[in-house]
Amino acid sequence: MVERHADPQHLCIYPFLAAASEYVDTTGITLDDLIRAASFERARLRGKARVIEAIKDGTIRKPVIISPAQADIELSSYPFARILVSCVGDAYLVRRYALSEAKAAHERLSEDSSLDIIYEMSEEFDIQMDFFPHAQDQVLMAFSDYLRFTTNLRDKRWKLVNRGLKSGKVKLSKSDFVRVVQEAMYERIKKDLPLKVPNEICKVIQGYTVDIKRELEENRKKLGDVGFESLVKDPDSFPPCIKAILGNLKEGVNVTHGGRFAVTAFLLNIGLTEDEVIAIYKNSPDFDEARTRYQVEHIAGDKGGARYTAPSCATMRTYGNCTGTDDICEKVHHPLTYYKRKLKLKAKKKKEKTVKSKGQVEKDEKV
C-alpha cells in the first residue's frame, strides 16, 4: 500500500485524486461559499481560467504553489471549474476540458515519474503493475488494465497485438505507462460531467459562464469553419460515411484509426492539401500536430510509399464506418465513386435549371 501524498502542493497538480477531495472536505468549504462568498472570488476566477485555458490551449497551466493559501485557491478552483463546465452543458467542452486537465497532469507526471508517484497513480486507479526485474524504465501491466485504458488510443502501436504479452502482463516503457495513466486521469475527470447543477446555481455564476461561452464560440469559428466548410470541396456531395466521420471530428469526438484513415485518404484523393487535412483534425480531443502530420504524409505517399486510396464501401462496412446509406450508396462500391456521381447529378440539375430558365426568358421575350 502506497501512502497517499497529503501535501497540498502535490494535490494541486493532481486535483482529481481521492486525496485531493478529502483535503478540500477538511477545509470546511461549502458550495455556497464557493459560488457566492467574496473571499472565494480568486478561486472562482482561477476556475474560469482553467476552462478558458482548456478551450484556447488544450492544456491547463500549473502555477508554482508557494503558500498554503495559494494551494487552497488552486484546489478550490477545480470543483468550481467542473461546475462551470456543467452549467455551459456543451459535450465538446466536457471532452476538451477533461482532456486538458489530464494532459496538464500528464506533463508533470512525465517530469517526475519517480517510483513513488508511479506506484501512487497505480493504486489510485487500481492498476496492477510492477517494474520489470532489473529495469526500472520498463513496466509490466496487467493486460486487463491495459485494455481498460487504451480503448481510445487510436494509434496502431497501442494495439495489444503490437505489444509483448507474457503471463497475462503487457510490457511497456515507463513513458508509455505514464501515457496510459493519462487515459485513466481523463476518464476520472470526465466521469459524471456534466454534473446535475441546479438552474439557480447556474444563474448565480452566469457572469463567469458568459465569458466561457464566448471563448468557446470563437474557438469553434477559428477551428470549425476554417477546418471544415471553407476547406472541403462541395461537402454536400460527400457520401454519408465521410460526412459522419467529419461531423465527429468537428465535435471533438475521438474517431477510430480506420475512420481517420478513410477520411484522410478520401480528402487527399479529392485534392485537399496535407496542411488542409491536418487543420481538420485540430478539433480532435487528443490532437498532436507532429504525429498527425506524419500520418497524413504517410497516407499521401510522402514517406517513400505509395499514395493510399480511400477504402471501398465493403471495407468501410467491415470496420463499422458505413453509416446512413442513401439511394446513391446502393449504386456504387466506393466513396470516391459516390462523390463523383453526386457531383455529376448536381451539375446535371444545375444545367437543366439553367436551360429551363433560359427557355422561360426567351418565351417571355416573344410574348
1 or 327, which is more confident: 327
Cβ atoms of 280 and 267 within 8 Å: the answer is yes
Give the model's pLDDT for residue 267: 93
Q: Which three cell numbers stand for residue 229?
A: 466548410
Buried b (16+ CB within 10 A) or exposed e, 177-197: bbbbbbbbbbbbbbeebbeeb
The answer to whether the CB of 52 falls within 8 A of the CB of 88 is no
20, 189 contact by CB (below 8 A) = no
How many residues in total does the chain contain? Answer: 367
pLDDT at 221: 74
| Per-residue pLDDT at 4 | 47
* CB proximity list for 58: less than 8 A, separation 6 or greater: 96, 99, 100, 103, 287
Mean pLDDT of the chain: 88
Cell of 141: 501491466
Query: Rounded to two decimals, what is the model's pTM?
Result: 0.74
Single-letter residue type at 160? L
What mean pLDDT do residues 136-148 have? 91
Determine the pLDDT at residue 225: 45
Going by the DSSP 8-state scheme, the letter that residue 235 receives in this structure is: G
Reply yes or no on whether the pLDDT at 338 is more than 50.
Answer: yes
Q: What is the pLDDT of residues 68-99, one digit of tens each?
A: 999 999 999 999 999 999 999 998 899 999 99
The answer to whether 77 touches 240, Cβ cutoff 8 Å, is no
pLDDT of residue 248: 87
What radius of gyration, in Å, describes the C-alpha atoms of the chain? 25
Distance CA 1, CA 352 (A): 77
Are 86 and 194 a contacting pair, CB within 8 Å?
yes
Residues in contact with 226: Cβ distance below 8 Å, sequence separation at least 6, in sequence order: 279
Average pLDDT over residues 238-256: 88
Residue identified by cell 447529378 is: 345
> Mean of the pLDDT values across residues 147-163?
84
Q: Are 341 and 332 in contact (CB under 8 A)?
A: yes
Top-level class of domain 8-206: mainly alpha
Least confident segment among 42-46, 67-71, 233-237, 284-288 = 284-288
User: Which is higher by pLDDT, 137 or 148?
Assistant: 148
Q: Of all residues in the chain, what percent carry a pLDDT higher than 70?
A: 91
Could you give phi then psi for residue 3, rounded to 5 degrees? -70, 130
How many angstroms separate the Cα of 76 from the Cα of each of 6, 29, 121, 198, 199? 15, 9, 22, 19, 21
Give the pLDDT of residue 223. 57
Residue 308, number of CB atoms within 10 A of its CB: 17
DSSP letters, 31-99, are HHHHHH-GGGHHHHHHHHHHHHHHHHHSS---PPP-SHHHHHHHHHHHHHHHHHHHHHT-HHHHHHHHH
Q: Averaging pLDDT over each range in 218-222, 337-341, 361-365, which range is the top one?
A: 337-341
Name residue 165's beta-bridge partners: 170
User: Quick one: average pLDDT of 288-295?
Assistant: 88
Q: What is the dihedral of CA 267, 270, 271, 273, to 10 degrees?
A: 10
Grid cell locating 245: 466521420
Q: What residues does each domain of the chain span? A: 8-206, 228-340
Find out whether 286 and 253 touch, Cβ atoms under 8 Å. Answer: no
Nearest to 102 by CA among 223, 219, 15: 15
Residue 264 has pLDDT above 80, yes or no: yes
Sort strands 169-173 and 135-142 into parallel, antiparallel or unpaired. antiparallel
Task: Quote the pLDDT of residue 266.
Answer: 94
Report whether pLDDT(262) > 70. Answer: yes
Mean pLDDT of 234-252: 88
Those residues with Cβ within 8 angstroms of residue 3's Cβ, 6 or more apart along the chain or in another chain:
none
What average pLDDT does the segment 344-365 reach? 72
Distance of CA 52 to the CA centre of its chain: 16
Distance CA 163, CA 169 (A): 10
Q: Look-up: residue for cell 457566492?
A: 36
* Alpha carbons 359 and 353: distance in angstroms, whole number: 10
Instruction: Name the 3-class secondary structure at 130.
Output: strand
% of the chain beyond a pLDDT of 90: 61
What's the angle, vertex CA 143, arms to CA 141 and CA 149, rounded to 5? 85
Q: What pLDDT digit, counting tens, does each position of 183-233 carry? A: 999 999 999 999 999 999 999 999 999 999 999 998 877 654 444 444 556
Q: How confident is the model at residue 161 (pLDDT cuts 50, 70, 90)?
A: confident
Give the residue-averaged pLDDT of 132-161.
86
What pLDDT does residue 227 have?
44
